[in-house]
Amino acid sequence: MWSRPLRLPVYLLVASVAHLVTSQETNQAQKDPSAPLTIRLTTPPHWEKDCLAFGLDRTNSSSSSLFIPDMGLYISTSVNDLSNETSNEGTQGWINVYGASDMVSWEARELLPGATLHDQRCLYPQVAIIDMKRQSRRLIPLHGKLRIDAYYFLNEENWRLSKSEHEAMLREHGASNNTKRHYAEAVTQFIVIPCRESGCDPICNQPPPILHGENRVVPDVFYLEPDWGVRGQKITDELSLKFPACSDPNPRSR
Residue-wise DSSP of 172-220: TTT----------EEEEEEEEPPPSSTT--GGGGSPPEEETT-BEEES-
Calculate ∠ Cα 16-76-66, nearest 5°.
95
Residue-wise DSSP of 41-88: EEEEEEEETTEEEEEEEEEE-SSS-EEEETT-EEEEEEEEEESSTT-S
Sign of torsion, CA 249 250 253 254?
Answer: positive
pLDDT per position as a tens digit, 51-92: 999 999 999 999 999 999 999 999 999 999 997 656 567 788
Residue 219, preceding peptide bond in cis (omega within 30° of 0): yes
Position 155 confidence tier, pLDDT thresholds 50, 70, 90: very high
Indicate the length of the chain as a whole number: 254
Please report which helix (H) or strand (E) contains residue 169, including its range. Answer: helix 156-171
| Amino acid identity for residue 156 in this structure | E
Cα–Cα distance for residue pair 246/26, rounded to 1 Å: 22
Cα–Cα distance for residue pair 108/117, rounded to 1 Å: 13
Q: Is residue 80 packed enough to be buried (19+ CB in 10 Å), middle (13-18) or exposed (0-12)?
A: buried
pTM: 0.82
Position 178 confidence tier, pLDDT thresholds 50, 70, 90: low
Position 24 confidence tier, pLDDT thresholds 50, 70, 90: very low
Cα–Cα distance for residue pair 36/20, rounded to 1 Å: 23
Position 97 confidence tier, pLDDT thresholds 50, 70, 90: very high
pLDDT per position as a tens digit, 192-220: 999 887 777 777 788 999 998 999 999 99
Cα–Cα distance for residue pair 51/41, rounded to 1 Å: 17
User: Is 24 within 8 Å of 191 (Cβ atoms)?
Assistant: no
pLDDT at 112: 98
Half-sphere exposure (Cβ direction) of 243: Cα atoms closer than 13 Å: 26
Pairing of strands 90-98, 73-82: antiparallel
pLDDT at 245: 65
